[in-house]
Structure 1
Amino acid sequence: MIGQQLSGRYEILNRVGGGGMALVFKAHDKLLNRMVAIKVLRQQFVYDEDFIRRFRREAQSAASLSHPNVVNIYDVGQEEDIHYIVMEYIEGSNLNEEIKRRAPFQVDEAIHIACQICDALEHAHQNQIIHRDIKPHNILIGKNGRVKVTDFGIARAATSSEITQTGSVLGSVHYFSPEHAKGVTQGAKSDLYSLGIVLYQMLTNKLPFSGESPISIALKHIQEDVEEPRKLNSLIPQSVENVVLKSMQKNPEQRYQSAKEMLLDLETSLSPEKMNEQKFSFDDNLDDDEQTKVMPVIGLNRKVGQMDIDNTIMPELKENNDKKNRFIWVKPVVWTFSTIIILFSAWFGVKAVLGMLDVPDVEVPDVIGLTLEDATIELEENQLIVKEPVQYKYDNEIEAGIVIEQSDISKKVKANYPITLTVSNGQEEVIMENYVGMQWVDVENDLRKKGFADGKIEMEMVLYDAPVGEVIEQTPSPDEKYSPNDQDVIFSFKVSEGLGSIEMPDLIGVSKDAAISMLQQRGLNYIIEYDFYINVPKGFVFRQRPIDAGSPVNIGQEITISVSEGDPDNVRKPKQAIIVAPETEGEESTIEIKITDAIGTDRVWKVEKIVEEETYYVPVVLMPDLEGGKATISVTVDYKHVGTYDVKYEDYE
């Protein structure tokens, strides 16, 4: 599609991305003379009429959003079998690329990005629009650092259709909410779950759930608990972990109730009073209706009627019964005496056992400050034991092996009672991060956030074939263990100052090949951009950045040059005939001709002396959307204004 024009207005320049549903191109809007991004549906989807109708409706709905963190949708159109959306062009990268390149992010940067996404979701949810596909691929980051959320409404069109794309599903399923995985209705809280996963990934450089197939990953969203972020990155404050855990609850009712609520927690998560708050927890008891209940056993009662034995049994049997009734008292008496004997025996037995179990009370001594070995001996001498296992924790002030906490100090307990001891592990050692390749300003900022003062940080600038400001060597070395509270630890860094500097050449008006040669001869790297530019011939440079001509530039620095693609198609360059006479015929006068047109205002075209009437053909540049679509020619004779001439674009269409 490169070079193709859509609707006679959008000229496709180059492809900049794509996904399971569409391809994305950079294009030039010839009508408004600006760059735009155009999302074009893949060919396999253009024959599904129901999907196309839903796709257009959802895109038009998303176009109603107006927010600094939402990519603006300018137009939705169709040309033959090409269905497309015209959007704001963001020069930068997407969050997925940034995570691959440099995650885990600094906590404050991750929070800053998440806040902007959350703000965009709050605006969308207020307008009854659910995104349904929040993931790093749909988060754009401009060169100015502003975050833009894209593809609002498009996910809904795809979800409502029967379209499937294995690669697309596999990419999105990592960010599914449990209700999405179950196939039930998704609301605003589903977007917040996905945002929680994006924040988790930015902080840990790891996805919470992964597997060999979309189904296995989806099941994990429904069934498995997520590994806590702080176990993967100990630098994450508890308050920030709490935001992640709350947003990723399986039950939507236990998540944030709105994007606004989540945004408030994000914005305050790094405040001193919240960073060490209690770990997030929730009531996971089932509702009463879901509890297992034990039902009583239903018994059957029945009444047995008495028979008048005297009137129904035979006389012989009656005589035998009379004999038996004479000894009926014997059995109860035997049972009564047997029970009394058993009870007395049991009473004496219990008394004897209690006498054997009569353990003396002892007072628990204070063993804090003793070594574990001495504390164990002290407790055993007082008829007490150490509870296993012994607890250990790091302490920046108490050396390793010393008891720092114990249970039941000075209390009265029974002999052989287990006492809980907590023993110091000494100063906690941490693993030195790898700062090589990072910019010094970021490294210094990170160390100061961790509490290291000026006296602990040393930096030396050295000539080196690396970008200026990049760390090229560090002490302690990467992955080396050190104690943050060790006074002898000094953080030493060598930072590149490049290979020296030279004077930046002037590339404006030079051909592309000549400009490249000039940059290469001076050891400078370059990036080439192409764009339409009035009055600069095709193939010639009309802009250079970030270093102006004549300024010092470091060898190896990257210079961006903009090369003209020539005039836009809607430029007109007529020549207007102007007759100018001297103030007095035959006497010399100074004339001056100025032009205001698409190139600039009051630019001097000619100054000269005449003695007789002259005709001048003044070239002007016209564009329909600049200077009202007209040019103005102003003439002065002997510094007195004598006339103004208008040239209109419509006269040359």
Structure 2
Amino acid sequence: MTKVIGHDLGGRYEILTRIGGGGMALVYKAHDVLLNRNVAVKVLRQQFVHDEEFIRRFRREAQSAAALSHPNVVSIYDVGQEDDTHYIVMEYVEGHNLNEIIQERAPLQADEAVRIAMQIADALDHAHQNHIIHRDIKPHNILIGKNGRVKVTDFGIARAVTSSTITQTGSVIGSVHYFSPEHAKGINTGEKSDLYSLGIVLYQMLTAQLPFLGESPISVALKHLQETFEEPRKVNPHIPQSVENVILKAMRKNPIERYASAHEMLLDLEGSLRPERLNEPKVTFTSVNDLEETRVMPAIRGDMAPALSKDTSTQAAIVSQEVTGSETELQPKAKGWKKPLTVVGVTLVILAIIIMGFIWLLGKIDVAEVDVPYVVGKPLAEARQMLEAEGLKVEEPVLREHNKEIPIDQVLSQTKSNMRVKEGSFVQLTVSAGPELQEVGNYVGKALQSIIDELGAVGITENQIVIDDEVFDEQAAGTILQQSPKPGEQYNPETVEFTFVISKGRETVEMPNLIGMKLDQAKSMIKAKDLVLADDGILYQPSFLHDKDEVISQDPFTANDRVVKGTKITITVSSGPPKDAREHQFNIVISPAVAGKTSEVRIVYSDARGDDIEWGVRKIKDMRTFPVDVILSPDTEARLTITRDGKFIDTITITYDEIIKGSESSTLTIPGEEVPPSDVPAQTEVEPGHEEPIEEQQQEQQP
């Protein structure tokens, strides 16, 4: 399958983006369209799809791992094949692997490292109880979720790798630092091999370094077999002695001296940080020589040829002896000396031809041996020269693998190194193809945050994402409207910069207060605010409080709400008083308390519009008439109260029935107070235009 991203694997798993990979497989983030969840899909590399034995064991071990159900084990959901693509579907863990955390923050605090190691041990205990051995415990296979949960992945996969596959893929290069001695020797590994690897992981978390390093995988493997490592507390004195004891016991070269089980190691880890154990004595072991069971056998080389030649000579001697014996047996029967001599001569000639042919064949077979130079890290051209200078050949085609950290054409791995081989042998090289170029998707119309998450999965940081502009648009706020680079273009995740124009959503305005406005005025205000009056947006309703064509209410927004432009508005408009309402006019004729002096008159009324409504306050110096209109509904009455100079003067009422039977108006006369003649001042004639001004305090009549 040449193009994986965007492909619906098995008609169910939509491949979204690549999130990792190793020597045997590539890992992708995918979406399970059937169960609507994100999953991780591991796809076997194409160079292994024709290895039937590998495929068979790969499936069997993956299915065995699928039987594991534990909170610290990445669950396997499905195993399948589509054409020549073999894949495993597993739980998707949002977070980082332990290797990334070690590179970023190691050495870790003891409590954090122990907490992580305990969860790994718990997962191994569950696996071992189900007769599954991991065989590839390393930080790359430990995932740390955002919630801190540790998940062990690749259960069963390492077990499916044959020795030939390890050699072909170079998997040893990635895992040899975590091999147990028995693993390095190539013998069957058991549960305690996983505990040794866990000890190395704990060592690395607490010291930020590996216990064994070397120039080649073979040299590292030999150190696992033969050498002792630097004790953790010598590298990091802050490690408690109790925690160092756990590492020392887990990493014993003799499996018998390690923990009996993952459960035993888990219990020791649980108690290692108790105050009474922090400074416990350093653990000791009774074994005098931990390397007694570890023996390295020399490789079989071409110098065995002389021995082979010696054996050939011996065989020739035996043949000669047999021939001679035959001759002795025939001599008594010979009647002359010529026949035996002829037989001996022919035999010697045949024997000479056989020996010469064998020597010639041996010369062809016994090709000189040469040392294979170590060319990892060299440019391809220089690596070719180094190999050819030793009489070796580069196997074509050269394998290429994307690597964002190694320059293009620099050698990543070689199939033979640090060994002697026959001159003319082929060496397979794998070189860097540089960072893997990704294809830009079409992000227009999608939410910005979801695209940030998607790009983050392939290594794009938020610093590489630029918001060029935010504009009002019909699309929801945060939706991408334009993008650069364009869809379909190729980009380097290390150097690319994405530029987006995003939507601020539809433009909004402040909702005006339409209540109390006349209908024409309300229509103008709605249009001015870029709002729309709905087709049936004017509703009429009788009202005592509002005059005809006056807005009573607005819907669905109140004054000062933020409203999207173009939103449809509905208003309710007064059609005037109800049809059965009746109006009546009180004519109040009132004089000042003292003739010629100013009095303040206040009128308050109650009717269908409400109680104690302020009609107004007037100042008068002579008799005045004030008309006061009231409105009544059936079975109600109107009441009018008059005060003068702050004193209650009179109250007048009228009922709905009285209005029906009577006239449309009535008059109430309120005279001034009696004044003694002696107190009446002499009248003076006032010239026209010089009347004393009358002050009146006008107040709006409440509706």
Task: Give TM-score scaled by structure 2 length.
Answer: 0.43
Task: Give TM-score scaled by structure 1 length.
Answer: 0.46
Larger radius of gyration: 2
